A and B are shown apart, each in its own frame.
Chain A
Amino acid sequence: MGAAALFLPVAGLAINPLLLVGAGLVVGFLSGLLGVGGGFLLTPLLMMMGLSPAVAAASGTNALVGTAASGLLAHLRRNSVDFRLGLVLLAGGGLGGAAGTSWVRLLRQAGSLDAVIVGLYVLFLGALGLALFSEGLLARVKSSAEAGERTVTPHWVSRIPLRLSFPASGIVVSPLVPLLLGALVGLLAAFMGVGGGFFLVPSLTFLLGVPMRVVVGTSLFQVLFTALAVTVLQAALNGTVDVVVALGILAGSAGGAQLGAAAGRRLQGTELRIVFSLLLLALSFKMLNDLWALPASFLVPAGGGP
């Protein structure tokens, strides 16, 4: 390993710290370029460095706290956060995160965590990649973002009872819908170490009709607090948070986000999303291949823990 190694106390292995900073740089770049948290890339990158899936997901969530806090500040300055909607999403996120953290423990004991994490990744990255790649969705996102117009809430969503007004978003919908969306994001955070921005942004836009200018800020609000809660739960229940990993990633992501933001100002949004969707599809294909290809070993640690 050489002199430049860094020992990760919870992961129990030594790696070159430049790899962590590099991963943070890549994730931060994408975050600055595309306005997403980047957690969906972080866990597989950490797993490729040799971290177990459980430690990679938990430590990635810890790093997401910093990334989301930085992004949320920018949105607070622009007054583009719907706190009421964010709190409902958060309540759901708390429920989903708590359930997910307990299930992670059970799956670790059953030895099937690897397969579950990889399976979820394939499912979500593939679906998102295809969705972003479709011209219709791209056109809707682009037109909504540029014109600052609100997408209409689908009729069937409007008919769900217990409707509540969310003035900052200009919508009147049942809080059960954002509660459910929040719970799904909490599950994603616990299982995959992702903040769920890539899932929440299209869901809030097309399912609830929240205007694009409010979506990302509100999504980051929910992601931040969900990641905070999941980090504490993962550390307390599973002992899988490696703070050295999180710090290394944050060191890189700070600079990466600035580079990404600078690059984003020179490129068109549509081009960026197509590149992004291809990246997601490639990653999804790689992980699907890992699931069905002959494994490097037919014996894995039960739980994939540290």
Chain B
Amino acid sequence: MISPQAVAVGIAWSGGTLTVLGDAPPGCGLVVRVRGEEHREEWVSRVPKGPFWLPGERLVLEAAPSLWLVRSEAPLDELLLPEEAAAAALGEGGLLQALGPSGERLYLGQELLRRWRVSGRYVAEDAGILREGNRFRTTFHLPPQVSEGVLEVAVFACRDGRVFDVGRQSVAVRRVGLAALLTGAARRHAALYGTLAALGALALGTLVGLTFPGGRVR
């Protein structure tokens, strides 16, 4: 079970929580993963040129997850064989492999994950899953910049280094109220949105000018 069943991002949104709870077979280790929708993303490295840091190599990610949160009951290498973790794209290595950069460009992927970790977009912890008998419970923190779309919550039951059962459920992330109205207008009616934004600022400025006629004029 997941709570809440849908995430509402309103104008007062500053991040939230997502709690996953359920039953787990006895004698297994658990890994819980929350994955955001994938989209194309481009990054540019900064390289020193003379005294300045200027744009250099380009990193194109065709399927970058908007969110990647993983919790496990124990370190992943204790729960899963390396090839099994890679196949399920659970560990950092599996994620990097899915993202693309390898070989000489691996450092770009590692830097990317470091940035995502700082912003809360990528979290991997081997703690935080509470067990009481067969029941388990864990709570993830959703960062303020969580993207709209669907979050896939997957629970992996592991035994003897292998995944023997997987449960999946989806959670919708939607902008609501004023945030939804403004986002929709900015994306779907960009010219109208821009015109209204400009005219609104003009009206407010005029109102201020009329309300406070005094001002320093050179």
Contacts and interface: CB of A to CB of B under 8 A. Distances in A.
Interface of A: 1-3, 5-7, 9-10, 12-14, 32-35, 62-75, 77-78, 80, 110-112, 115, 145, 212-213, 215-217, 224, 227-228, 231-237, 239, 241-244, 246-247, 250, 254, 257-258, 260-261, 264-265, 291-292, 294-295, 297-303
Interface residue tally of chain B, by bracket? 35 or more
B111 to A, nearest CB: 5
A302 B64 CA distance: 14
Given A69-B205, A70-B206, A35 B55 contact: no
Given A1-B14, A299-B44, A9 B205 contact: no
Interface stretch (B21-29, B88-96, B158-166, B192-200): B192-200
B53 A9 contact: no
Interface string B6-42: 0001111111000000000000000000000000011
B46 interface: yes
Contacts of B41: 301
Interface string B162-182: 000000000000010011001
Interface in B104-119: 108, 111-112, 114-115
Nearest to A67: B205
Interface of chain A: mostly helix, strand, loop or mixed: helix
Contacts of A213: 218
Nearest to A253: B208
Contacts of A77: 213
B144 A264 contact: no
A130 to B, nearest CB: 20
B111 A298 contact: yes
Contacts of B43: 111, 299-302
A297 B186 contact: no
Nearest to B111: A299
Nearest to A263: B216
Contact of A7 (B144, B147, B202): B144
B215 interface: yes
A63 B13 CA distance: 23
Given A1-B14, A13-B145, A145 B218 contact: yes
Contacts of A264: 216
Interface of B: 9-15, 41-47, 51-55, 58-59, 108, 111-112, 114-115, 144-145, 147, 175, 178-179, 182-183, 186-187, 190-191, 193-198, 200-202, 204-206, 208-210, 212-218
5 contacts: A5-B144, A9-B182, A292-B53, A299-B112, A300-B43
B212 A254 contact: yes
Most chain B CB within a 10 A radius of its CB, from A5, A62, A66: A66
Contacts of B217: 35, 74-75, 78, 80, 216-217
Interface centre among B14, B175, B218 (most CB of A within 10 A): B218
A169 to B, nearest CB: 15
Contact of A112 (B55, B206, B214): B55
B59 A9 contact: no
B186 A235 contact: yes
A224 B147 CA distance: 34
A216 B218 contact: yes
A237 B45 CA distance: 25
B198 A62 contact: yes
A65 B201 contact: yes
B218 to A, nearest CB: 4
Given A9-B186, A212-B218, A234 B53 contact: no
Given A65-B198, A110-B44, A112-B55, 4 more contacts: A13-B145, A34-B216, A298-B53, A301-B44
Contacts of B209: 69-74
A291 B46 CA distance: 11
